[in-house]
Amino acid sequence: MQTSYSSSRILLPVRPWFIASTLLIALLFNFLPTANWPGVPDWVALALVFWCVREPRRVGMGLAFLFGLAMDVADASLLGQHALAYVLVAYGASSLSRRILWFPLGQQALQVFPLLLLVQLVQLGVRTIVGADFPGLAYFVGPCLAALLWPLLTFVLLLPQHQPVDRDANRPL
């Protein structure tokens, strides 16, 4: 009888409205004025990576592109900057989803960190190409914090999918 959280547990299918609501909440978190502070993770990128890893057939590059355009308009940044970064991270997360899910949560965070860092690097590259200054090393604290939040985020976003633990002696599963 295992009562602690385990990745081998059978989960209920995720509801599409739950995916949409978590992505919209992440978008709203990115709209907050505190989103531009150093060390604050890119919530949309984190949510996109999570859902692209967990549900690669439902969340992909098209949705990442739309959320990227929304972020570009909201930040008044170069049109396509976030869209390009989110599409690349969605492709990478979808491609690596089966591999990432084999690892425990702590090691998943290490696998997700380069994807989140990719978002920052692509955005920084686009900004510097058009002549912006280097924002400093504090710009890269966000992906580190997001990778540290990965186990907590996974636990919270998978809670609605957990089946109740009712044991039946006559049923093996």
User: Structural domain tally of the chain?
Assistant: 1
Structural domain for 120, as ranges: 16-161
* 10 inside domain: no
What are the residues facing 162 on neighbouring strands? 11
pLDDT tens across 98-113, in order? 999 999 999 999 999 9
Q: What phi, psi does 53 have (nearest 5°)?
A: -75, -45
- Report if residue 31 sits inside a domain: yes
d(CA 101, CA 59): 16
Q: pLDDT for 141-164, tens place per residue?
A: 999 999 999 999 999 998 888 766
- 156 in a structural domain: yes
Q: Is residue 8 part of a domain?
A: no
Q: What is the pLDDT at residue 133?
A: 85
Asked if residue 1 is part of any domain, the answer here is no
Sequence-distant (6+) residues with CB within 8 A of 4 are none
Q: How far apart, in whole angstroms, are the C-alpha atoms of residue 52 and residue 50?
A: 6
Does this model's pTM top 0.95?
no
* Residue with more model confidence, 157 or 8: 157
